[in-house]
Every structure is written in C-alpha cells, then in structure tokens.
Structure 1
Amino acid sequence: MIPQISDTAMFTTDVFATVLVANRGEIACRVITTLRRLGIRSVAVFSDADRNARHVALADVAVRIGPAEARESYLNIEAILRAAAETGAQAIHPGYGFLSENEEFARATAEAGLTFIGPSVHALRVMGDKIRAKNHVAESGVPTTPGIALPGLDNAALAAAAADVGYPLLIKPSAGGGGKGMYVVEAASELAAALDAARRVAARAFGDDTLFLERLIPSPRHIEVQVLADNYGNIIHLGERECSLQRRHQKVIEEAPSPLLDEPSRRRIGAAACAAARSVDYRGAGTVEFLVSDAEPDAFYFMEMNTRLQVEHPVTELVTGLDLVEWQVRIAAGERLALAQDDVRLTGHSIEARVYAESPAAGFLPATGSVLALDEAHGDGIRVDSSLTPGLVLGADYDPLLAKVIAWGVDRGQALARLDRALSETVVLGVPTNIEYLRLLLHTPAVRAGHLDTELIERTLPSLIFRAIDDRLLAAAALFLRAHAEALPLVGGEASATSPWTSRSGWRIGEHQPTPYTLQVGTASPVTIHVDDTTDASRVTVGDCNLVSASLQRIPGRPHGYSVEFDGSVSTVDIVAAGNDVWLGTDGATFRLRVLSRQDQLAARLAAAEPSAGVADPAVRSPMPGTVISVNVADGSSVEAGDTLLVVEAMKMEHRLAAALGGIATVAVAVGDLVSLGQIVATIQRPDPASSPEGSPSPALSEGSA
C-alpha cells in the first residue's frame, strides 16, 4: 500500500476559512482536494474555455474571470483579485505556472489584504530572475554551472562571450521556467538564430527577453530537492527527485528517490538546497534544481530555484507521507514546521508519468479533441492526479498536460511494474495522448536499470517502435460499427436512420452481400473490411485477407470495453465512435479511424491520382490548431525550398512552417490569426519547369521546438 498522508493534526493558528485557487487543470483539482480535506471552502476561477472543467465542478464556488486567452483570464491579476474579494477569500493558492512565481501578483495580493500561499516578494524577485539567482546563491557557497550570467546583455554581447563559455552551450531565459525558451547551441554558426528564437519565446511567455549562457554539461542528470521552510527560520529538505527523463527540457517521467544518490550524497545536496533557500529567507514549499554528474554524484551545480509547487511533487508525497499542499497552507497561516530534518524518512520508491494531449508518432504535435471515453487507473500503489472528465473539450489554449499517473512500490522495481500496469489500464479516447510512448520509455533497458540522463530520450526515441493498427483491431472496429448501425446512422455515410441502406438487417436488392466498411488511419491507405453475419459466427475479410471467424462482446463493468475474438485468439479493446471517427484503445495504444463514405473514397482516389510520387505540395498547411506568432516572408516574395514562411504556436510549442519548393509565396494569414488543423496558411506558385533546376524538390518541412 501507499504510505498514508499524515493525518491532519489540529491547527495551532487561525486557519483560512476560504482559499481561492488561481489556476486550472489537474493542479487546481489537486489543491482543491486538500482544501476540502482540511475543511476549507475553495473558490475556483475559470475562463470561457474551462466553463465545464473538472476543477470548476470540484470547488465550492466558481467564478468566471475572462475569455480563453490566458492574458485575459488566468494571467489577469485584477480579475483574480476581484474574484477573491467577491467570494470572501482570505488567501490565494497560485498552483504552478501562470502567476505562481509572479512578483507583481504576490505584492498585489498582499496589498489587497490577502495571504499569498507562497514565498515572500523578496524570494520571488531574487529567484525569479535566473541571472540574479545564480549569482546570489554562489555567494552562499552553492556550486553553480560555468557560464555568463549578467543582466542587460544584447545578442552581440552574448555572442562575444560565447567563445569563452565554450560550445556546446545552453541559452536560457532569465525569467523563465519549464524549459521554455531554452536552446542548445552546438556551434557558433547556430548562435544568432537560436538567440532570436529564445528572445521571442521568452518575451511572449514571460514578458522578459533577458538571456544568459551556460556551459552545456554533457549527459548530466537533472536532480531537484524539495524544501519546506516556515516563517521562523526552520528549513528542511524532503529528499530529492530524479527528473532526468526529459524531452526538449520538458520533464516526462520523474521519480523519488534518485537511483543515483547514496545517503551521504543525499545529505550534501540537501544541505546545498537548504542553503539556497535560507539565503532568501524562504518560506513555504520550494524546489532547488541541480545538474549532477552521473560519474561523480558529489559534483552538482545549481540551476534554479522554483518558488512554487512542482508538477512532480506527488512522488515526494508518496515516499514521505506528507501532503505538501497542506503544509503550504499551514505555513502561510503561521504554523511552525512540525518535524525536523532527522524526522524525515523516505519509504519505498515512487515514479510519476505525465499524460499529455499530443501525438508522439506524429512528431509530438499538441492535440485537441473531446474526451469520449475515460477510464483512469486504480489499485494498490496507484495515484492519479487528473483534470479529465467524460465530455471535456480540450482546446489549444493551454498546456497539454492532462493528468499524472503515479505509482509507489516497496522498491524501484515494484514501482516501475505498477506504473506500467496503470498506464496500460488508462483509457482516454477522443484525443491523442502519449500513453503508449510512456510505456515504451519505461521498458527501455537504461530506464529499467536507472542509468538516466537528460539526453536519454533523444537518443532512444528513434528506436522506439509504436504499435501499428492490425487486422484484429480493424475487424473490431467493423464489428462495432455493424453492431451499432442504428445508434450511429451517420458513421460512414449520409443516409437517414430509416434508410434501408444503413439498416443492419443486411437487406439489399439481389443476392445477399457482406457489409463493407472502409476505414483509414491517418494518411495510410484505406482498408475495406467486409462483415458477413448471416451465420451464427460473423465472417470478416480485412482487405485481401482470407475470411476469418470474429466476434465482439461487451465486457461487464467496463463502459467502452470489448472482448474481440479473431480467428480463435481473444484480446480486449476499448471502442467509441463520434461522427465519422472510431477510436480504439488497447494496452495504452490509441488509434483514430475515419470511416470513409463513398464520397470520401472517391475523393481519396482522385487526390492520389493527381500528383506524381515525390512531388512537393505547393500548399503549406498548419500541422495543428494554434496561433500565428510570426510571418517571415512578404506576400508575393520569392522563396527557396526550406525557407521559413511563418511560425505557429500551440500549447507552448512553436512550429516553423517552411516552403517545400521554391517559387512565389502567397501568405494567407497574419500575426495573431488563429488557425485550425490542416488549414492552408500559405501556397507556393511553382516555377516554370523549363527554368527550374534539375532534381526533385524537398519534402514539406515542419519543425517543432519547446
């Protein structure tokens, strides 16, 4: 069993009667859960996009604060303070992200007579600027990474200093966090473009484009230390978390404790974290992050201090038995820490996996959709922190983090096994997720052995083999459509529910014929499945395969679960349909199948017949819904293959859209425009073949960056 969160003792001070949670998603749900356990009235805030969100339903009171755009809602200090005043809140919990580390917000909260559940304005100011923080903690004897960290350096000054820093190096925004705006530069020739991109991301995400440079430590481990500090000078650490499994500086899987550190190393890095916190008279929960040498665990370097709760805080809670949100509230209310450093015990091992709305097999593009089916894991040693609920609409307005699946075990091996099982049992249909990718990572030899570093995912990603749809799943989809023909009259065609052409009776003019279903996954070639159920057992033909016996049976107690028997072999699958889409999930893998009508099939055949193989598409389409943040070419200008045309952002990721061939560009959008998935944003007028250079054009280009 998971070590139980310590029972709530009586408060020794007057606690808050009402707390407003200035956030959304799974962290808002997480904070509200603890407030409810403590008997504190909770207030949720929401934007128009989150009107039906889970955190809104969980809270005692919910207040609308603006439209979907974060700057007009979750980043709107005036609107949040107005909601607090209207609901009688005495304190504000900022969660993480948005305004959680915003010095202005903390100051405005105090000026409004409210308590900010977090550190002081001084701590936010010092640690919120990475340049200032790095120089500050160095004065307290905390080791820091070599580099140049001075305020006010422009691109020319940074470029001049880069040679002394040495390549490869890392560009980092001074005001940032979460890996946004961080760029690895391997050579001097890459520096100018990376500096421009980093400034653009930093300015948009943090309102501050100040940058600094650090020496890139090859294959380091990212280890962070959780600290707790009260208002009376008492500071303790709660052990460390291993956060080395990252992609583009975004953490994917975290665990506690680190498999690298022994007890002496843990004491030393913990002492350094406490020293960093003590240097700014820290209070509340915070995290000090270090880069650690895999070869020398005692060689660690301060990166930054996060003056808030971390996304991965549950793994610390599960190995310590402490509720960090509760202690944030208690400390903000004036309580003293109830335990000393020697009282902290780490029991067992805990691992967390972040579930995102994204398509790993399609370059990790952020995804949108509606939750059509949901079944979250449970059982011994399993905890799920989630914002998901059936019917939830997931747009492109916010971070794509949906949920966190956390497993505890008596040792690391048991925790890994439990997490893998929990992910295999997690069903989210209606939006692509990274669940299959998480399971593939957990099964890599290096992860299982605990040999981790921040570059491991990038090295192993090309070798990960995602599951392809097979005949069994295609047959299951066809049998599902056959069984639900009356309930889903529009799937695969436009006939009415009373039309004999969509009746499951099998009636046709002339001799009996099997029912055909033409299905397509992504851009793959469509496959036609024929179902003949005139006999006791259905006979299914998938494409050109021979007829096989197949059946589909509901699984009791599992709303969307089915048992599919295919040619004598049985497996389970979750299936749901909406519109012309059928979604299937099995063992963490998810597939979206489009049911093609006759018109769709004809259009697909015509489209396939138009361009010759290898000819680039002159139309440039957005690979995701998002916002145009940069247009790099003028309408009517001449471009070469590979030239950047524009940049689209969605869910905190930038995607560069480039010309697939040379010619004259026509740009159909402007900065600030919202674009949909597949929308044509630009076209290239092909040059006269007689004047074109020899050789085939390059394929269409699209790059993503965190």
Structure 2
Amino acid sequence: MSLHDLGPVLIANRGEIAIRVARTARALGLETVGVITAADHDPAHPAAHADAVDVAVAVESYLDPAELLRAAAVAGARSVHPGYGFLSENAGFARAVAEAGLTWIGPPPQAIELMGDKAAAKEAAAAAGVPVVPSGDDGGMPVIVKALAGGGGKGMRVVRDASELEAATAAARREAQAAFGDDRVLIERYLERPRHLEIQVFADAHGTCVHLGERECSLQRRHQKVVEEAPSPVVDAALRARMGDAAVLLAKACNYVGAGTVEFIATGDASEFYFLEMNTRLQVEHPVTELVHGVDLVEHQLRVAAGEPLALRQEELVPQGHAIEARLYAEDPAAGFLPATGTVRVYREPTGEGVRVDSGIRVGSDVGTAYDPMLAKVIAHGPDRATALARLDRALATFDLAGVTTNAAFTRALLARDDVRAGEQDTGLLERVLADLAVDPPPDLVAAAMLAAAGTGRPAGPWQRTLAGHGEARVGDGRVTVDDREWAATEVALGDDGIAHIALDGVRRRYAVAVGPDTVWIGRDGHHLEVATERRAHDGAGALSGSLEAPMPGTVLLVHVADGDAVAEGDVLLVLESMKMELSITAPHAGTVAGLDLAPGDRVTLRQPLVAVVAEEEGNA
C-alpha cells in the first residue's frame, strides 16, 4: 500500500484534533472526510472542523461506530483516523474499520484492548519488566479509584479515609459508565506529591520502535492536565534513556504499531518511576513533542499506517529547546471551574515567534456542554524554558476572545508562580495553591464595557444602566462611573473586528468587545467578563426566597427530594452532570423543599432556578 492509498481519510472526531489531522493530511496530498452531528451543525455558523475537510457527512453521534462507517462509505473513504477521545481507544471500532475493508490509522485492536484494561495493562507492564504502582487492596490509605477504561481523569477518585471508599467507588463507577460505557474500576495505592511524566513512543509494522523523550504533565486539576511541557525540568539524558527504554519494552511486548504514550508516576526528582497506563492514541499534548523534536507525529501515523518503515532513528531523537502547552478551557475559575457556555463573538489568535495555536473554534462557534470544554491549545517553543514560559504568557495575554469565559488569566497566574517557574511541581500542586491563584477581573473591565455599550465617552446626556452585580453605571461628559468609582474616559475607539482601544484615567488599553442589547462581553489579558443589565425575576422556584440556581449548565443526574420534603442544612437535593463532572446541589439551611419541577435527564441552563428551600419561619409567615 502506498501513502496515497489512504485517501480519502475519514477523521472520526471533531474540534481542534480533527482540524489538526486534516492539516497534515492535506499537506501530504490526501483528501479528507469529516463528520458532524446536529449539535455541531448550525448552517449560519458551521463547526470549524466541518470547513477544515474536503467533505463533511452528517452523523447521529461521534460515538456510533455504524454511523461513522456509513459516513466513510458515503464519502468513499479508504482509511479512518480516530483522533483522540471518542472512539480512538475502542478496540471494537478498530476491528469494525478493518472488517469494512478500511485502513485503521492506529495501533492493532489487540494492543488497544490490552492497554485499555488498566488491570491487564499493569500485569503486562510488570511482565515486561516495567516498574508498576503497588495495588491498594491491603487496606492502606490513601488509595486511588480508577476507571479501567478511558482516561483524562474521568472515573477517578482519591480516597484518604476508608469510610469514604464505598461512596467514592460508586461515584467513579457512575462517571466511568457515562464517559466510557464501562463501569469497572481498580484501586491502587496513591503516591503523595508525585510527578506525572509520560513517554511518547512510535512503532512501525517492521519491528522498529523508538521513543521521543518525555513530557511533564504534573500541573493538573481534578486529574485533568492543564499545562504540559517537554522536556521535563528534572529529567536528564540518562534518566530519559531509562524511562524511554521501559516504554519501548512495553510497546514491543504488546506488538504495538503507531503512536502511543506510556504514562509514569514518579518521585519528585523522577529517580523512581512507576507505570501508570498506556494511551493507545495521539495525546492532546503531542505538539510539545513535535516542537522540540521537529517532527509531525500525524504524518508518521499516516505513513506507518500505509506500511512504510518508520523514518525516525533513536540516536537522532534529542530534544532541542523547550516547549510548553496550555489548554484553554471554557470554564470559570472564579466559580469553582464550573463549565462556561456561550457564543464566541470575538476571536483572534495570538501571533509571535515560537507560538502555535491548535483550535477548534472561531467567531460564531457555540460552546455548550455536549462535549469536552477544551477550546484550544496554546503552545510556545523557545531555546530554553524561560523563553518558552515568557512566550506562552504573552500568547495567553494577547489571545483576543469574547463571549465565553476561559481559564487564560488563571493559567497565567499559575505559570507566574516561583515554584512553577523553577520546575518544582507535582500532581497536587495546583489543587494546593488554588486560593493563591484567585485572580479578580481588573476593575477597568466594567468601565470599558459601559463605554463600549454607550459607543462613546461623551453621549448626549448621561447614559445609565443598572448592572447585574455592579450597581448603577453612568456615562457622560467624558467620565464613567461604576458602583461609585469614577473614571476619566479620554478615548473610545471601537473597531468593526471586535477590538477596542479605550483610555481610562490616561491609560490606553486593548479590549476584545462584543455588544448586545442587554449584555456586553469584554476581555483583556486573559480575563473575561459578561456585563449584563439586571434580569427580571424568574417564575417558579426563582420567585421563592431561598431559591437555588444552576451554577453550571448541564443535565439533572439524580433527584433526592420532592416538594414538601423537610431537609437539613447540607442535605443533597439533586445532582447535576456537565462535561462528565458531577456537582451536588445542597440545602443552604434547614427548611422545606418547594418549586421543584425537575427529573433525571432534564437539561438546565446556567443560573436556571432549580429548587427552593423555604425556612420554617418563612413558611409560617
């Protein structure tokens, strides 16, 4: 088979990874086929990945193998690239692709199956001579409960007290079932303050297997990676060779072909490391490896799938410089990192030497809760770690985006910490320092938003609005007053591209701004704010004292109470699920449940009234 026999290539995914695969396929002269669901299909603003391919086929679900194979048949595809997530590590789908006469651009189904079962993978690693984490069945604490299928922190719980193990296991099973359709879990000893290091491996069908060094992925929240870099600041050439040799041993033991990642958990100095799992696909963080090694991993995936010998030699794979990646998530750090939703109204990617952005959104993209909250990846490369960090910070600060709240400012604060800059990090660091990373939006955002809404610093007469959470704001005579603070407005220049330059108290700043009838979306330096007029009181539960609103959009997973029930402070009333994350809604005080009109499976929007808890004195009033 030749490389061009792979085309057209069906990309069984969406968002930035679908766009990234299509870019390389196109560069190699291969036609591409994309898939798109109803949730991603808006004729006025089609998903960005639909325009990145030559042909897009509508499917019912990205998780339905039959639908994906139907799309391949309709478009005449001859191969399938699964990207990551969705069905990328589904051995059944890989087999179905091959049985349909198509080429699977990934490892053999047997390897996917073996490494996808964490218990079996651990046994295989031990048999291959790779050090493994001790099991947690001896009653010692702490332990970690992990889903046997999948990854990305889904179906994972750390338990420090034996009395919490049963509830944590049940929650992990539910989350694993929702994310992967498999509720099996295993329990292992949990190592305190470890590093998370992973080795990129690549193998061909001719017996060659190499590694492309390590990635440091220790900066995590809720077991989800936030920042990744290559190489690790604590790994030298000798240790890199040891870890790489172990990863290659495992890959060869399971007859691996293609791109894969062997993940290790390590001590603080990384001198001791243990097998964690193997991801049988391309990783989200693969760009940092590409930048320090000067390779295109997707190109090698395609060439190896076509039967070509691997064009990589171990002795030549020495990292050059340093690369760091930050994941841009649609989430609100100020609200406990709950998912953020909205429509992208202003979007302009940062530029500059050594900066790369892999994105799945553009102006008009609707960001909901149906899929993962990652919007884009911002990657910076430089001759050394300090340069890469500086370039990444600048890129995050100049990423013009309005309409959706992101973690950009939070990530900048994280990267500015002395311990992070020194490379002193572990998987628990981010959680421990969350309070130190609280970054309030700068006060000028509201003032600038008011000026943008007014369109000028000098309207004919005072221009006034009552703002939700900000009191009253007035604009007139070259001044803007927000909640008793007054600013001098000396310049208001609004561009048609959503970029505004506004001078307040003599300081001219650049903002990303979108103005609606009752709302202004504004951002600068990684901060995002939605400034809205006061909303009308809601009906139903919203009209009752003690009403509880949805802190995030999502789906009602469980309902534990009914109208008229008496509850105590802290009782769980219902459980919401969004982007595979569960959140319990609890009673703020003792009282009686009222205004509840929800059932499991119901969708709720951000700030939608859910239920009220009426205190006894209120009920008797």
Counterpart residue type for residue 131 of structure 1: A
Query: Cα 1:339–1:21, aligned 2, differ >3 Å: closer, same or farther?
Result: same
Counterpart residue type for residue 190 of structure 2: L
Looking at structure 1, the residues matched to 342 and 619 of structure 2 have their Cα atoms a distance apart, in angstroms, of 45
Report whether the alignment pairs 1:516 with 2:510. Answer: no
Query: Cα 1:685–1:407, aligned 2, differ >3 Å: closer, same or farther?
Result: same
Coordinate RMSD, CA, aligned: 2.3
SS at match of 2:192: coil
Query: Cα 1:336–1:637, aligned 2, differ >3 Å: closer, same or farther?
Result: same
Query: Cα 1:531–1:269, aligned 2, differ >3 Å: closer, same or farther?
Result: same
Cα pair 1:256 1:319 within 8 Å, conserved: yes
Cα pair 2:48 2:360 within 8 Å, conserved: yes
In structure 1, the partner of 2:615 is 686
Shift of 1:559: 2.3
Looking at structure 1, the residues matched to 183 and 479 of structure 2 have their Cα atoms a distance apart, in angstroms, of 63
Cα pair 2:401 2:512 within 8 Å, conserved: no
Shift of 1:193: 1.2
The within-5 A match list for 1:661-680 is: 661-666=589-594, 667-680=596-609
Looking at structure 2, the residues matched to 541 and 646 of structure 1 have their Cα atoms a distance apart, in angstroms, of 41
Residue deviations 1:26-58, cap 9 Å, x none?
Answer: 111111111110110000001011121000011
SS at match of 2:292: helix
In structure 2, the partner of 1:437 is 410
Equivalent of 1:588, from 520, 526, 529?
Answer: 526
In structure 1, the partner of 2:130 is 142
In structure 2, the partner of 1:402 is 375
The within-5 A match list for 1:546-695 is: 548-554=488-494, 559-596=497-534, 618-634=546-562, 636-666=564-594, 667-688=596-617
In structure 2, the partner of 1:529 is 474
SS at match of 1:132: helix
Cα pair 2:8 2:33 within 8 Å, conserved: yes
Cα pair 1:222 1:291 within 8 Å, conserved: yes
Shift of 1:479: 2.3
Report whether the alignment pairs 1:320 with 2:293. Answer: yes
In structure 2, the partner of 1:499 is none
Query: Cα 1:689–1:678, aligned 2, differ >3 Å: closer, same or farther?
Result: closer
Q: Which moved more, 1:386-395 or 1:408-417?
A: 386-395
Shift of 1:135: 1.0
Counterpart residue type for residue 600 of structure 2: V
Shift of 1:631: 2.0
Shift of 1:340: 2.0
SS at match of 1:416: helix
Shift of 1:560: 2.3
SS at match of 1:104: helix
Query: Cα 1:531–1:216, aligned 2, differ >3 Å: closer, same or farther?
Result: same
Query: Cα 1:229–1:551, aligned 2, differ >3 Å: closer, same or farther?
Result: same
Looking at structure 1, the residues matched to 578 and 76 of structure 2 have their Cα atoms a distance apart, in angstroms, of 35
Looking at structure 1, the residues matched to 455 and 512 of structure 2 have their Cα atoms a distance apart, in angstroms, of 15
SS at match of 2:249: helix
In structure 2, the partner of 1:698 is none
Counterpart residue type for residue 557 of structure 2: I
Looking at structure 2, the residues matched to 629 and 545 of structure 1 have their Cα atoms a distance apart, in angstroms, of 44
Cα pair 1:582 1:595 within 8 Å, conserved: no
Shift of 1:207: 1.5
SS at match of 1:133: helix
The within-5 A match list for 1:344-493 is: 344-470=317-443, 472-483=444-455
Shift of 1:669: 1.2
Looking at structure 1, the residues matched to 75 and 618 of structure 2 have their Cα atoms a distance apart, in angstroms, of 69
Report whether the alignment pairs 1:111 with 2:111. Answer: no
Q: Which moved more, 1:565-574 or 1:138-147?
A: 565-574
Shift of 1:137: 1.1
SS at match of 1:147: coil
Where structure 2 has 5 or more consecutive residues not aligned to the other structure, the ranges are none
In structure 2, the partner of 1:56 is 50
Looking at structure 1, the residues matched to 506 and 8 of structure 2 have their Cα atoms a distance apart, in angstroms, of 60
Looking at structure 2, the residues matched to 197 and 681 of structure 1 have their Cα atoms a distance apart, in angstroms, of 22
The within-5 A match list for 1:224-373 is: 224-295=198-269, 297-373=270-346
Query: Cα 1:567–1:278, aligned 2, differ >3 Å: closer, same or farther?
Result: same
Where structure 1 has 5 or more consecutive residues not aligned to the other structure, the ranges are 1-10, 67-72, 149-160, 486-503, 507-512, 533-537, 612-616, 692-706
SS at match of 1:396: coil
In structure 2, the partner of 1:540 is 480
How many residue pairs match? The answer is 614
In structure 2, the partner of 1:18 is 8
Sequence identity percentage: 50
Shift of 1:106: 0.7
Looking at structure 1, the residues matched to 399 and 425 of structure 2 have their Cα atoms a distance apart, in angstroms, of 25
Cα pair 1:474 1:529 within 8 Å, conserved: no
Looking at structure 2, the residues matched to 579 and 530 of structure 1 have their Cα atoms a distance apart, in angstroms, of 17
In structure 1, the partner of 2:88 is 100
Looking at structure 1, the residues matched to 170 and 201 of structure 2 have their Cα atoms a distance apart, in angstroms, of 35
Looking at structure 2, the residues matched to 676 and 519 of structure 1 have their Cα atoms a distance apart, in angstroms, of 21
Looking at structure 1, the residues matched to 605 and 232 of structure 2 have their Cα atoms a distance apart, in angstroms, of 42
Shift of 1:114: 0.8
SS at match of 1:441: helix
Cα pair 1:517 1:530 within 8 Å, conserved: no
Counterpart residue type for residue 234 of structure 1: T
Counterpart residue type for residue 394 of structure 1: V
Looking at structure 2, the residues matched to 264 and 57 of structure 1 have their Cα atoms a distance apart, in angstroms, of 45
Query: Cα 1:541–1:668, aligned 2, differ >3 Å: closer, same or farther?
Result: closer
Q: Which moved more, 1:574-583 or 1:322-331?
A: 574-583
Looking at structure 2, the residues matched to 195 and 531 of structure 1 have their Cα atoms a distance apart, in angstroms, of 59
Shift of 1:545: 4.2
Larger Rg computed on CA atoms: 1
Query: Cα 1:547–1:330, aligned 2, differ >3 Å: closer, same or farther?
Result: closer
In structure 2, the partner of 1:493 is none
